[in-house]
Chain A
């Protein structure tokens, strides 16, 4: 039960400067767009998803996590040619699930974060596949190895990013 929350501090919510709440999603969407242009492999990484997960497991409030996830997803949709809502739905679901899990598991542990991010990345890919392929009837690539690789890379990047974002935490 190492993953379970064991203290009041672990289930408590964190607070951040308001600038972080604004800048982190904007930077995530912007950098995702910019870096993918210059580094092809960056398309495997989903910075907005990582920010959504971090916000959800840090705040541990499903409603706010759902709203933030939906907002970040819609912003990400706006840069694609997909209808608005594809990433919005998937990230709202991920935010809700991550916040719900954040209450129950120790999200301060790097191993937990690694596993959570890996799982959520695969979960988002599955939701996207269902939405695009089966709901909208548009072509969508589902390549198992590709998805696993992407999930692993996101998990690794997520651990580093979460550690960096931890530094911005407002401590009392």
Chain B
């Protein structure tokens, strides 16, 4: 027996070692539904190896970066000024585009909230350097220099500004493994942007991502963008994945695989972002960015095209700025509603009044009762004291002034502006039409029509008319009602109202924007 062991010692050692590793493999093989990631001794071995390998990699990577930084920041500066100018122009252009998209984003958010969708917004990311790979083409794994100490956990999405990269796998204290989307064992829910075909993305044996098991569809064309669908509960929806490269039929011929050219350059990754926090609400910083971008875009637009003012630009502050919550505020903007944090959201703007009176605006048409058959219609003289405030809520100069002074495009500004500036006109005349006008909230029709009888033209109850500062005293209510009426039916400048409100007959222009 002893001679047997001594004779076959080498083979026995080999067999024992192989058997032990096979058993180890069997233990590590994951069953479906089992949580990803390694545990216990396996994780410990990985941590040891990574702990040994990563410090020299960090050192070499940092050295390379330093050398490259010296070259790029101090030596290779040719054409930097020109490039800077080009980038500045590009930035201005992007700000304009961003501002135009900001409203769409807000609208999309509101609609999604209505429909119950759950959009995931990126709250917080951690930037990390890629310091290594698995070193074999059979395993598309990256090693990054951030770990659990930076808040990273397994299964967090890893992205670049170009597109998604993969997700974190095993996380150690100061390093993490990232499984790329090009690996055959990865998976991501994606959707084709134009055809809206959904599928699962994973790497093929050549290391190229592909959407597997897709029903054949002739609409799938090369170049179509692919984005994340959010269905995998890992990647936020809408992140760029890549573009369709080509469609390859599966061997059985019933389904096809869509090869995807990744948006992120997976073979040349140096820095990545790990999304460590996401949520369903648009982050405050992003909201501020959108608002700022809109304002900057308005400035750029005003600078380039002085004759055009962006009505949707946010307020800049100062005189004439009457944001939400300032409805009914007085000239000082210190009305009670201005302090009300629960003020209604801003409403769409009212178009500015015409600079010069013309013969085409409906406001120039006199009351039907004043018309004489055969008489030529001319521009009537306007008597401010005869102007019907409620029937013509925005027709006063004050309202116009409020609107024209407002640089922003929100309705709240216009609304507050017209109310706050309505001394002696709309707000001064009373609270008429508040209830009716409030029905118009949110459905503005800037058609330039006057208020119709029986609605905003109804007299104010119990003599609110004539009370100075009624617009202010109606804390966000009377004034707001006026403002809303003005906003809902923005009237042209200075209508020739000569009759009391309750006797106001139908006007020449039919009402518009009514419910």
Instruction: Tell which of A33, A74, A83, A131 has the most Cβ of chain B within 10 Å.
Output: A33
Chain A nearest CB: distance from B436 CB in Å? 67
Give Cα A83–Cα B61 distance, bound, in whole angstroms. Answer: 27
Chain A nearest CB: distance from B504 CB in Å? 78
Q: Are A80 and B136 in contact (CB under 8 A)?
A: yes
Knowing A75-B49, A96-B14, say if A70 contacts B179 (CB, 8 Å): no
The answer to whether the Cβ of B28 comes within 8 Å of any Cβ in the partner chain is yes
The answer to whether the Cβ of A171 comes within 8 Å of any Cβ in the partner chain is no
Knowing A78-B45, A81-B185, A140-B138, say if A33 contacts B133 (CB, 8 Å): yes
Interface string of B21-64 (1 = CB under 8 A from A): 11011001100000000000010011011101100110011000
Q: Are B185 and A139 in contact (CB under 8 A)?
A: yes
Select which of A29, A93, A138 is within 8 A of B184 by beta carbon: A138
Give chain A residues whose Cβ lies under 8 Å from the Cβ of B130: 37
Which residue of the partner chain A has the closest CB to B9? A63
Give chain A residues whose Cβ lies under 8 Å from the Cβ of B17: 66-67, 70, 92
Select which of A40, A79, A82, A100 is within 8 A of B143 by beta carbon: A79
Give how many B residues have a beta carbon under 8 Å from the other chain's beta carbons. Answer: 49
Q: Are B133 and A36 in contact (CB under 8 A)?
A: yes
The answer to whether the Cβ of B10 comes within 8 Å of any Cβ in the partner chain is yes
Give Cα A67–Cα B132 distance, bound, in whole angstroms. Answer: 26
Give chain A residues whose Cβ lies under 8 Å from the Cβ of B18: 89, 92-93
The answer to whether the Cβ of B137 comes within 8 Å of any Cβ in the partner chain is yes
The answer to whether the Cβ of B198 comes within 8 Å of any Cβ in the partner chain is no
Which parts of B201-255 form the interface with A (CB within 8 Å)?
205-207
Give chain A residues whose Cβ lies under 8 Å from the Cβ of B48: 78
Give Cα A44–Cα B56 distance, bound, in whole angstroms. Answer: 22
Which parts of A60-84 form the interface with B (CB within 8 Å)?
62-63, 66-67, 70, 74-76, 78-84
Q: Are B137 and A81 in contact (CB under 8 A)?
A: no
Chain B nearest CB: distance from A52 CB in Å? 14
The answer to whether the Cβ of B13 comes within 8 Å of any Cβ in the partner chain is yes
Q: Are A79 and B13 in contact (CB under 8 A)?
A: no
Chain A nearest CB: distance from B12 CB in Å? 9
Give chain B residues whose Cβ lies under 8 Å from the Cβ of A96: 10, 14
Give chain A residues whose Cβ lies under 8 Å from the Cβ of B25: 83-86, 89, 131, 135-136
Chain A nearest CB: distance from B102 CB in Å? 39
Instruction: Tell which of A30, A36, A43, A79 has the most Cβ of chain B within 10 Å.
Output: A79
Give Cα A79–Cα B229 distance, bound, in whole angstroms. Answer: 30
Give Cα A33–Cα B13 distance, bound, in whole angstroms. Answer: 30
Q: Are B138 and A141 in contact (CB under 8 A)?
A: yes
Give Cα A26–Cα B135 distance, bound, in whole angstroms. Answer: 13
Q: Are B136 and A76 in contact (CB under 8 A)?
A: yes
Q: Are B138 and A80 in contact (CB under 8 A)?
A: yes
Q: Are B134 and A84 in contact (CB under 8 A)?
A: no
Give chain B residues whose Cβ lies under 8 Å from the Cβ of A30: 52-53, 56-57, 132
The answer to whether the Cβ of A34 comes within 8 Å of any Cβ in the partner chain is yes
Give Cα A81–Cα B186 distance, bound, in whole angstroms. Answer: 10
Give Cα A63–Cα B17 distance, bound, in whole angstroms. Answer: 10
Knowing A62-B10, A138-B184, say if A79 contacts B49 (CB, 8 Å): yes
The answer to whether the Cβ of A108 comes within 8 Å of any Cβ in the partner chain is no
Q: Are B134 and A74 in contact (CB under 8 A)?
A: no
Give chain A residues whose Cβ lies under 8 Å from the Cβ of B50: 78-79
The answer to whether the Cβ of A132 comes within 8 Å of any Cβ in the partner chain is yes
Which residue of the partner chain A has the closest CB to B141? A81
Give Cα A37–Cα B132 distance, bound, in whole angstroms. Answer: 6
Chain A nearest CB: distance from B71 CB in Å? 16
The answer to whether the Cβ of A88 comes within 8 Å of any Cβ in the partner chain is yes
Select which of A70, A78, A89 is within 8 A of B46 by beta carbon: A78
Select which of B10, B22, B135, B137 is within 8 A of A79 by beta carbon: B135
Which residue of the partner chain A has the closest CB to B12? A63
Knowing A40-B267, A89-B21, say if A63 contacts B10 (CB, 8 Å): yes
The answer to whether the Cβ of A11 comes within 8 Å of any Cβ in the partner chain is no
Knowing A34-B60, A37-B130, A85-B24, say if A141 contacts B14 (CB, 8 Å): no
Chain A nearest CB: distance from B35 CB in Å? 15
Select which of B22, B28, B133, B137 is within 8 A of A37 by beta carbon: B133
Which parts of A9-49 form the interface with B (CB within 8 Å)?
26, 29-30, 32-34, 36-37, 40, 42-44, 46-47
Give chain B residues whose Cβ lies under 8 Å from the Cβ of A42: 135
The answer to whether the Cβ of A128 comes within 8 Å of any Cβ in the partner chain is yes
Kindly list 16 other residue pairs between chains A and B, CB separation below 8 angstroms, not including A80-B139, A84-B45, A85-B25: A30-B132, A33-B57, A36-B134, A36-B135, A43-B137, A66-B14, A66-B17, A76-B136, A79-B46, A79-B135, A80-B134, A82-B139, A83-B28, A83-B42, A84-B25, A141-B205
A-B contact pairs, 14 of them (CB 8 A): A30-B56, A32-B136, A34-B57, A34-B60, A37-B133, A42-B135, A43-B133, A66-B14, A70-B21, A79-B143, A84-B21, A92-B17, A128-B138, A135-B25
What residues of chain B have their CB less than 8 Å away from a CB belonging to chain A? 9-10, 13-14, 17-18, 21-22, 24-25, 28-29, 42, 45-46, 48-50, 52-53, 56-57, 60-61, 130-139, 141-143, 169-170, 177, 179, 183-185, 205-207, 267, 269
